[in-house]
Chains A and B, each alone.
Chain A
């Protein structure tokens, strides 16, 4: 965990120092405004197979002045929408490899995307409204108080690298170190696959939606990644402890606490809007998730199951779904 934290902060510093190098590239591909940010965040999360590093990158680009607050907001939102791609990709490849015609593994990835999209689309609007109206304008987390400490720990290494490497290489190194940091976090976690779960016997009993929502909140708060916390469903589901009924509330919970590391990154990069953007997104997503979990969880679960079942009904429907998953962010960038 200490190694993970060391790498995480180093990655943020590298990204900040190198951010200016990719500014022209982002402008060339047409990243402009909230739509462009959304599209780039979405695509980047699909390519990097994780949303958290993309959100952290967006904040460093904001701190270096490469992206505006509006574009950063879009990129963080987009990173969450693209984050479910890794689960979908692994499942779809597994289906292809096994030549499976039913009980498709891609189901979980599609369900993750649908749950995220249904909540995040209105949540982005709500958070944007709050941002443009100056809500939480004074919110600060004083991560920069640690600046002196970071200067002592990272200063010599960063100065050496900045003097020798071009800025876009620094940025690329930052991305790689960030991925290594999340990998280190994953390794620090207990291996649930090798343990007998203390959870429940199958039959006709399932977990209450609020309970799975809590488990999703907690698991993702510990793993700092939706893709990691979703992959933790694998051993539990394989033993029959977690079933389709449990998926939606779990993802709803995971989608909230996945912002914790982004909030931490926001505090560290030191831009006046960085923590505020993340806090508004986190608050909006929470506000919209709670009624689903407590008032109509079964209707929502039914909707998600129907969409995921249809989208994974056959290889062609999965291909169409993946195509749409990439087409939307490309259109957002192009428009």
Chain B
């Protein structure tokens, strides 16, 4: 598996290296350490130290590209395809994010590979939560969660959130058949996931996902990549909001 790890000299950069080191061995079989030219000029030992941190991994390459960070990551993925990108959050505050945009959100929107945004890594990666909507990215999220869990020899949990409004006497033909929850159940059954691994919550999607993540002391949250229609006029994508507010690591999975 080809994995790109973005190396950042800030303390958050350490999170990305630690998370990369916690990934299953086959996910680390071919690593590329990427840094910006500006960071390497300011910290010449940056890539060497990162290589030393990941020493036990398979083959490790290095790449230096002009910044800013999001531009370097996107340029690297355009030059070659990767199976996974590991990046730290930029740590921008709300005001800076409003002015400059979110760095990780830009990367997630621009690349077609899974992106692991590393935050506060645990000692061991054991508790995996996959938020599934029943929509078009659900199959890819289930597949990724299972692959990651098998590599770590752990059991993942799957969380659909029912945020539909319960209504008095819905119109004929809309009495609950074919709900997103039914779609999730069908996808999990297709993938051979036991029903016991399904956690169903009822409420606002963002709140319920984040609460379940904290309640279950999960280490990594898997989410489907933003839909193509997200960000268009009048519409908003839950994925990016959860990504920015989640206290732990988030793995964004693109649609198949």
Contacts and interface: CB of A to CB of B under 8 A. Distances in A.
Contacts of B224: 203-204
Contacts of B239: 204
A205 B202 contact: no
A205 B236 contact: yes
Given A239-B174, A243-B163, A200 B235 contact: yes
A164 to B, nearest CB: 42
Interface residues of B, number: 38
B238 interface: yes
Contacts of A309: 202-203
A105 B168 contact: yes
Interface stretch (B5-13, B35-43, B226-234): B226-234
Contacts of A107: 165-166
A30 B237 CA distance: 52
B196 interface: no
Contacts of A205: 227, 229-230, 235-238
B179 to A, nearest CB: 8
Contacts of B233: 211
A288 to B, nearest CB: 22
Contacts of B229: 200-201, 205
- The prevalent SS among residues of B at the interface is loop
A105 B166 contact: yes
B206 interface: yes
Interface in A85-144: 90-91, 93-95, 100, 102-105, 107-108
A90 B204 CA distance: 23
Contact of A234 (B170, B226, B236, B237): B170
A134 to B, nearest CB: 40
A240 interface: yes
Interface string B139-165: 000000000000000000000001111
Given A202-B135, A204-B133, A305 B168 contact: no
B136 A207 contact: no
A302 interface: yes
Interface in A202-254: 202-208, 211, 233-235, 237-240, 242-245, 247
Given A201-B229, A204-B238, A211-B235, A244 B171 contact: no
Given A204-B227, A244-B163, A305 B234 contact: no
A208 B230 CA distance: 10
A108 B168 CA distance: 9
Interface size class of A (residues with CB under 8 A): 35 or more
A108 B136 CA distance: 29
A301 B165 contact: no
Contacts of A237: 164-165, 167, 170
A234 B164 contact: no
A95 B203 CA distance: 18
Which one of B170, B179, B237 has the greatest number of beta carbons of chain A within 10 Å?
B170
Interface in B102-129: none
B167 A208 contact: no
Contacts of A243: 163-165, 205
8 contacts: A91-B167, A95-B168, A103-B162, A103-B164, A103-B202, A204-B133, A204-B135, A234-B171
Interface of B: 133-137, 162-171, 174, 179-180, 202-207, 223-224, 226-227, 229-230, 233-239, 241
Which are the 7 A-B pairs with shortest beta-carbon distances?
Answer: A203-B135, A211-B234, A94-B168, A238-B170, A103-B166, A238-B174, A237-B165
Given A205-B235, A207-B234, A234-B170, 15 more contacts: A94-B169, A105-B167, A108-B167, A203-B135, A203-B136, A205-B229, A205-B238, A207-B235, A211-B235, A235-B170, A235-B171, A244-B163, A244-B164, A302-B207, A309-B202
